[in-house]
Structure 1
Amino acid sequence: MSRSSPPAQPSSDGGSSTPHVGGGGSSSSSSRKMIAVTATVGAAASLVAAGLFLIYGDAGGGAAREGDKPRAEESGRQGRTLFKVRSPKVTGGADSMDVVGSWVTDGSYARGTGETVVGMDPGSGERKWELPLDGRICHSSERASASGKAAVVVAESRSSGSACDQLVVFDVDSGKKEWQQELPNGGGSSAYETEVAVSREVVAATWEYGSAAYSLSGGSPLWKHDLDDEGDCTNEDLSGGEVLTVVVKCGYSDDLRVRKLNPGTGTSSWESKLPGDAETGQVVSSDPVVVAVDTDPGTGVRTDVMSVGEDGKLTTISLGKEKYVLDPCQLYAESCPASVVDDDFLYVPSLAQGDGDGAQNEITAFDLRTGKLAWKSGAGKHRVIVPLRMEDGELIAYRLPAPGSGGEVVAIDPAAHGKKQEVLLRNPKAGAALESAFVRPREARILYEDGRLFLQQGAVPKSPDPHQKYVSAVFGAG
């Protein structure tokens, strides 16, 4: 598809502003090449999405003590605002609209904008392509395949209340729609709960009582599961990567089970039953398998994390109620932001201590084999830090804007037990207000790829304030 708009024009703060695209009404609740954030992972294509609103507060959790303060190596590149993407207009009677889907490759930054996906140059924001869809984007794969393909579940039409039953796969670099077909999710309310994930060269979708998988290349059906055949079971969560991991709830006692699936065949290599007091479970990582669970009835707070070995054996990491930030885990696929997993550790941010500009916190590493706290890495005075992803054996993290300074991207060396932080990108003070507008809301999404920081809103209001008129802001040294 040819370029559909002229290059972005300079904006008042030195970046450029890409015209808004897409639109529509309300949406449903929702390697070093491909990144999309939460999670994980020992795999080359890692996922990172960070919801940051719960980090701020004064309940529990340890603020970084002077003794925990890491040594920062000030070698980072000075950043600037590269470009901004205007928010789509919310039409109809809705007060807001979910803005679902974002992917980065070497040559493209693709962003879902309601009823359209737009591809831009990741360095300049110049529009490369636009892919109109039949209806609003209901859910998206948080990662793309190694071949550069991503998937979205969209509504069957642009009419209000239309079912989310269309699966679309497209090429992130070119914007070409590879294929589209109707999902066997029964329409109705079940369709609104459909989730989608990419694993190797397979795209899988789950809904309340079933799941199905297709080849990313061509869309040929690979397998289909009907949970009605297993008795009273429902799907709870789905995560992609090298393997597919699903959480199901079964029986009158609502016991939770985590299953590791072969993406191509749908067969389960093992199943592990989660503790009986766990009410909900969300996959934090699929390789290794790590699941966050709620063991405090009625609160929805993720109090424990379960590391599941290849033999199905569980190791419990107890987080408590008011110390660490896993609560942004949402009830849709690959939705545990602000947490990262490698082969050895689970990395989670503590709740910030102090109010307003004085808030500060730390990243805590828990040993996956023992479940015990291994080490901490503080954000520094008046700073808040969140983990993003693993890269070349180091933990990439984001230090949020602070009084008098912009945000920073840092690399933390696990081998040094968090005592060493190397600054990779230092954003300008002039852009701190713009950064802050993106990192405080519940729906914030953060990507870091090829030296660029992509800050994104997950929802836009019908009547935005000045900083809400952008759905994305991109920082970098380029």
Structure 2
Amino acid sequence: MTQPPQPPNEPPQGGFGKPQEPPAGGFGAPTEPPPGGFGAPTPPPEQPGYGYPQQPPGQPQYGYPQQGQPPQQPPGQPGYGHSQQPPTQPTGQPQYGYPQQGQPQYGYPQQPGQPYTQPGQPYTQPGQPYVQPGQGGPGTPGGGKKISTQAQIIIAAVVAVVLIVGGGVYFASGDGDKDDQAKTSDSKDTKKDGQDDKSLGGGKEKPPANTKSKVAFQLPQPKVGDITDVSGSWITDKAYIKTGVNQIVAYEPDTGKQLWTIPLPGQVCAASRHATEDNKTAVVFAASKPTAKEKYVQCTEVGAIDLALGKLLWTKSVTGGNAGDDKAAFREVTLSGTTVAVGGTDGGAAFDLGSGANLWKPEIKADGCYDMGYGGGEGLVAARKCGSYDNPTVIVQNLKPSDGSPISEFKLPAGVEYVSVVSTKPLVVAADVGDTAGDGSSISDFFSIDEKTGKLRAKIPVDGDKYAANCGATEVEQCSKLAVGNDRIYVPTEEHEGTGEDYGQTNEIVSFDLATGKATTDRADAGERYAMYPLRMDGSNIIAYKWPPYDKGGQIVSIDGGTFKETVLMENPGEESVREAETSFSLDGAEVRFANGRMYTSETLISEPSTAGDRKEYLVVGFTTN
């Protein structure tokens, strides 16, 4: 029977580096046997359903039924947010974000699979006897006798002495390589740049007097006849702004009342995730609406938006690059300072945010190099592709935003066709080297780069079976479920079986040091039946979203960058109808924004409404604690 994959650097109960508590009565005291004596069979749980994992057949995840293991529940699994009496899966084509037939709801109780074993350490099922490696026991392969009570007492005493002397606990990595001992909570490892872990500065987001949220508003998806891009959403002090069909609309943040609308000649194709302090940003859109004669209109128009006033400040287009004398088409847009940079297969261009003046145009040099796109924010970084289609070379350039001249550059290794910019300061990019990621994330490795010299600081391999960050397949600035700060990159682990009695799924947020590339001892647990994902940095803190189980609402938490202590900022309602709305989105295909006690989840792509079932589909679902 295939064992489920090993979770990364799984620590003992209590967290990384926490000394294990001695058994009651002191070290070496006789261990109380479980009811029925050592080796007595543990009664199975009462036929619970499965957990969430959305994994295709033949590729099991934690908690997913293994080959030869019969399902404990009939077809027709509960959908996102359903109660313990799940409805039958609707017939016909499933809706976007709806669980497929036979694929269960995340956080739903499930039958435990076979136990896993950490490399170099025996697995001990709670309530079952310790089993020596190579010997049999409940739920373990092979035959043999269980270890005696006397031997258990001796081993417990030896382990206790090792813990006391070593001042820490040993743990093994998922690939069996030995890591350094995890530091205890008061070790220097929790301090950064020689500072005490309480002096990192924190962030602006503070818990309100009442963290219980209420629904701010729910916007149904507009009816469209084809796949339509609605990417783009922003939060200001006075509004939540979202792209719609051929328009951009602002909503009162707590009620959803429309404040203003910017009509556009065609559909928005890309929107910057960055905005200036005075709430200006940029978008790319089509020059006209599609017609029966011209169904697909190129995205050639670049525009600057004032999110405070609700105005389209200017619209520009350029020629050149692979487009020749025609208007260049763009699929990405970003913002760095007052520079609007756009990119696509026709090449890259840039404009001044205030005036719309063209700073540079798409061009193809003799070596065939062109800018695919840019990463913005504190810096401006270009992703350039050179060479032939069959043998491309991908280069990352740190640019001067004012004129696009390179400050430094880094050449990605062979086997990279596209690169994603995760952060510009510090400079971190992600790539799928040799198409080895294998999980659809487009990430096999992170590269930490010195933005001044272009030298590689560290390469960070991230096993797709262990980590759950995600980047766009061809887009330069579309990574999600990660954050960069404190000279570390924070990523979630994949969901795996928890330790609670209902055997639900859970995960953690961990980090890697950008200077060394090594995993740190940072670890924030999502908690039983929740899954937690970073949204963004808030000063030195990490803002994370906790995807809810089938019977509760989601949460927004702030994770202290020094201590990794979690503080709840928002708890969403647990009513079934609200849960269904909150979990009707796929986190890999949605935008989640949180600020000032308000959270909004919105779609980036919508399509013709499904005729299967009566499940509601939303453009935006918002929550507020105000």
TM-score tier (shorter):
0.7 to 0.9
Matched with 2:304 is 169
Matched with 2:395 is 257
1:69–1:379: 8 Å Cα contact kept in structure 2?
A: no
Pairwise mapping of residues 170-189 of structure 1 onto structure 2 (< 5 A)?
A: 170-184=305-319, 186=323
Matched with 2:430 is 292
1:76–1:423: 8 Å Cα contact kept in structure 2?
A: no
Can you list the C-alpha shifts for 1:352-380, whole angstroms capped at 9, x where unaligned?
11499822111111100010111221111
TM-score, normalised relative to structure 2: 0.62
2:328–2:346: 8 Å Cα contact kept in structure 1?
A: no
Count of residues in correspondence between the two structures: 415
Pairwise mapping of residues 63-102 of structure 1 onto structure 2 (< 5 A)?
A: 66-68=13-15, 77-91=211-225, 95-102=226-233
Q: Does 1:420 align with 2:572?
A: no
In structure 2, the CA distance between the partners of 1:337 and 1:311, relative to structure 1 (3 Å rule), is same
- After TM superposition, the structure 1 stretch with the greater mean CA deviation from structure 2, 359-368 or 57-66, is 57-66
**In structure 2, how many angstroms separate the alpha carbons of the residues matched to 1:224 and 1:192?**
12
The unaligned stretches of length 5 or more in structure 2 are 19-206
- After TM superposition, the structure 1 stretch with the greater mean CA deviation from structure 2, 181-190 or 76-85, is 181-190
- Match of 2:580, SS state, is helix
Matched with 1:8 is none
TM-score, normalised relative to structure 1: 0.80
In structure 2, the CA distance between the partners of 1:193 and 1:166, relative to structure 1 (3 Å rule), is closer
- Match of 2:562, SS state, is helix
2:423–2:484: 8 Å Cα contact kept in structure 1?
A: yes
2:336–2:401: 8 Å Cα contact kept in structure 1?
A: yes
In structure 2, the CA distance between the partners of 1:383 and 1:144, relative to structure 1 (3 Å rule), is same
Can you list the C-alpha shifts for 1:262-319, whole angstroms capped at 9, x where unaligned?
1111111101112223332111111111000111337674110000015533410110
Can you list the C-alpha shifts for 1:2-49, whole angstroms capped at 9, x where unaligned?
xxxxxxxxxxxxxxxxxxxxxxxxxxxxxxxxxxxxxxxxxxxxxxxx
Please identify which structure carries the higher strand content. Answer: 1
Matched with 1:359 is 505
**In structure 2, how many angstroms separate the alpha carbons of the residues matched to 1:74 and 1:476?**
11
- Match of 2:435, SS state, is coil
Q: Does 1:474 align with 2:625?
A: no
Pairwise mapping of residues 344-355 of structure 1 onto structure 2 (< 5 A)?
A: 344-354=487-497
In structure 2, the CA distance between the partners of 1:255 and 1:76, relative to structure 1 (3 Å rule), is farther
1:163–1:187: 8 Å Cα contact kept in structure 2?
A: no
**In structure 1, how many angstroms separate the alpha carbons of the residues matched to 2:10 and 2:328?**
43
Correspondent of 1:119 among 250, 255, 265: 250
How far 1:423 moved relative to its partner? 0.6
Matched with 1:447 is 593
In structure 2, the CA distance between the partners of 1:280 and 1:222, relative to structure 1 (3 Å rule), is closer
Matched with 2:468 is 325
How far 1:436 moved relative to its partner? 4.2
Matched with 1:370 is 516
How far 1:443 moved relative to its partner? 1.2
In structure 2, the CA distance between the partners of 1:146 and 1:363, relative to structure 1 (3 Å rule), is same
In structure 2, the CA distance between the partners of 1:88 and 1:120, relative to structure 1 (3 Å rule), is same
Matched with 1:34 is none
- The letter for the 1-side match of 2:519 is L
Correspondent of 2:459 among 313, 316, 341: 316
How far 1:222 moved relative to its partner? 2.0
- The letter for the 2-side match of 1:179 is W
How far 1:247 moved relative to its partner? 1.3
How far 1:65 moved relative to its partner? 6.2
The higher relative CO (CA closer than 8 Å, separation ≥ 6) is in: 1
In structure 2, the CA distance between the partners of 1:161 and 1:209, relative to structure 1 (3 Å rule), is closer
In structure 2, the CA distance between the partners of 1:352 and 1:111, relative to structure 1 (3 Å rule), is same
- The letter for the 1-side match of 2:306 is D
2:532–2:547: 8 Å Cα contact kept in structure 1?
A: yes
**In structure 2, how many angstroms separate the alpha carbons of the residues matched to 1:239 and 1:451?**
28
Matched with 1:246 is 382
**In structure 2, how many angstroms separate the alpha carbons of the residues matched to 1:129 and 1:330?**
34
**In structure 1, how many angstroms separate the alpha carbons of the residues matched to 2:10 and 2:528?**
10
1:69–1:377: 8 Å Cα contact kept in structure 2?
A: no
Cα RMSD for the two superposed structures = 2.9
**In structure 2, how many angstroms separate the alpha carbons of the residues matched to 1:274 and 1:316?**
11
Matched with 2:160 is none
Q: Does 1:199 align with 2:336?
A: yes
